[in-house]
Amino acid sequence: MRRGLSHCRWKVLLKVGVCMGKIEKGIKCSVSSCEKSAIRSIAAGKVTTAGLKIDTERRAYLCKDHYKEFKKATKKDRTLEKWRHQGVR
Ligand SMILES: [Zn+2]
SS3 state at 40: strand
Residue 1 within any structural domain of the chain: no
What's the Cα-to-Cα distance from 39 to each of 15, 20, 50, 81, 84, rounded to whole Å? Answer: 19, 13, 17, 27, 32
| Averaged pLDDT, 41-45 | 93
Q: What is the 42 CA–ligand 1 centroid distance (Å)?
A: 13
- CA dist 66 and 19 (Å) reads 20
Q: Is residue 65 part of a domain?
A: yes
pLDDT classification of 62: cutoffs 50, 70, 90: very high
Establish if 5 belongs to a structural domain: no
- pLDDT(85) > 60: yes
Whether the pLDDT of residue 8 is over 50: the answer is no
Ligand 1 center from residue 1 Cα (angstroms)? 22
Kindly give the distance from the C-alpha atom of residue 79 to the centroid of ligand 1, in angstroms, as a whole number: 24
pLDDT of 25 strictly over 90: no
CA of 12 to the centre of ligand 1 (A): 18
Q: Domain range spanning residue 62?
A: 10-85
The reply to whether 62 falls in a domain is yes
Does 4 fall in a domain?
Answer: no
What global pTM score does this model have? 0.60
In degrees rounded to 5, what are phi and psi of residue 45?
-55, -45
The number of folded domains in the chain is 1
Whether residue 4 has pLDDT greater than 70: no
3 in a structural domain: no
